[in-house]
């Protein structure tokens, strides 16, 4: 059963001078429930735009994105926000943690857009990612690796069907990157969440049984 289906997806951006630049033109892409897929994407390849389209953060110009049975591309913005909160977890490269809040509060705030804040579950997730003794620390009091762990806990807080990870190891050294990758994959497996992870790091890409190249999926500039 597909947890993600993408068909004839297109997105262009218009520059201030009125020039239209196609960014995404993907004919077909899908993932099964619980599947873990690596997507190779260099900077400027449209990888972040693709993830944003899947998550409903930006609206497609044409085509269809269905996540966990929800046709994201047919929804209005408020509906997309709700569907994302319930079905999609997102691990950003820059983590996007709120500096004025503790690790626990950051995870609980992420829950507010879904089923609602659950302190016990948030604490359990932070303990699972190794931050039992740090859950009341604010982001600036945590190492980069620890901030990444908070981001992973927040992404899994609402029990998403699909987790999107945009270069999640990009800001970590080799050792921490390996630990973070293992953590993300293990927690997704435990929660039966599908994982679509974008990277350009060969060591990360080689760890996945299924690895796709965005340059081959995306027909922008190919005349296809």
Task: Tell me the pTM.
Answer: 0.90
- State pLDDT tens for residues 136-148: 999 999 998 899 8
- pLDDT of 17 strictly over 80: yes
In a domain, 198, yes or no: yes
Residue 224 included in any domain: no
For residue 196, being part of any structural domain is answered with yes
Confidence tier at 223 by pLDDT (50, 70, 90): very low
What is the average pLDDT value for the chain, to the nearest integer? 91
Number of structural domains, the chain? 1
DSSP labels, 53-76: HHHTSS--SEEEEEETTEEGGGS-
Q: What is the pLDDT of residues 24-45, one digit of tens each?
A: 999 999 999 999 999 998 877 8
Query: Is the distance from CB of 160 to CB of 33 less than 8 angstroms?
Result: no
Domain of 186: which CATH number?
Answer: 3.40.50.300
Q: Is residue 209 part of a domain?
A: yes
Full domain range(s) for residue 32: 2-217
Q: Is residue 223 part of a domain?
A: no
Q: CA–CA separation, 190 vs 30, rounded Å?
A: 21
């Amino acid at each position: 059963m597909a947890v993600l289906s993408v068909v004839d997806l297109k997105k262009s951006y218009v520059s201030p001078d009125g020039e239209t630049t196609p960014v995404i033109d993907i004919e077909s892409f899908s993932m099964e429930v619980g599947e873990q897929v690596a997507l190779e994407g260099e900077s400027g390849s449209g990888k972040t735009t693709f993830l944003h389209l899947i998550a409903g953060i930006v609206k497609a110009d044409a085509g269809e994105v269905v996540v966990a049975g929800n046709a994201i591309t047919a929804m209005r913005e408020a509906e997309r926000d709700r569907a994302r909160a319930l079905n999609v977890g997102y691990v950003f490269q820059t983590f996007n943690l709120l500096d004025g809040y503790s690790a626990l509060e950051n995870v609980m705030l992420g829950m507010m857009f879904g089923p609602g804040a659950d302190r016990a579950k948030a604490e359990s997730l932070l303990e699972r990612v190794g931050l039992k003794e740090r859950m009341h620390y604010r982001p600036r009091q945590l190492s980069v690796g620890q901030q990444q762990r908070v981001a992973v806990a927040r992404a899994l807080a609402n029990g998403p069907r699909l987790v999107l990870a945009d270069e999640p190891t990009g800001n970590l050294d080799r050792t921490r990157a390996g630990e973070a990758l293992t953590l993300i994959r293990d927690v997704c497996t435990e929660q039966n969440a599908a994982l679509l992870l974008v990277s350009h790091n060969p060591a990360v890409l080689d760890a996945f049984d299924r690895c796709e190249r965005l340059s081959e999926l995306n027909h922008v500039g190919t005349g296809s």
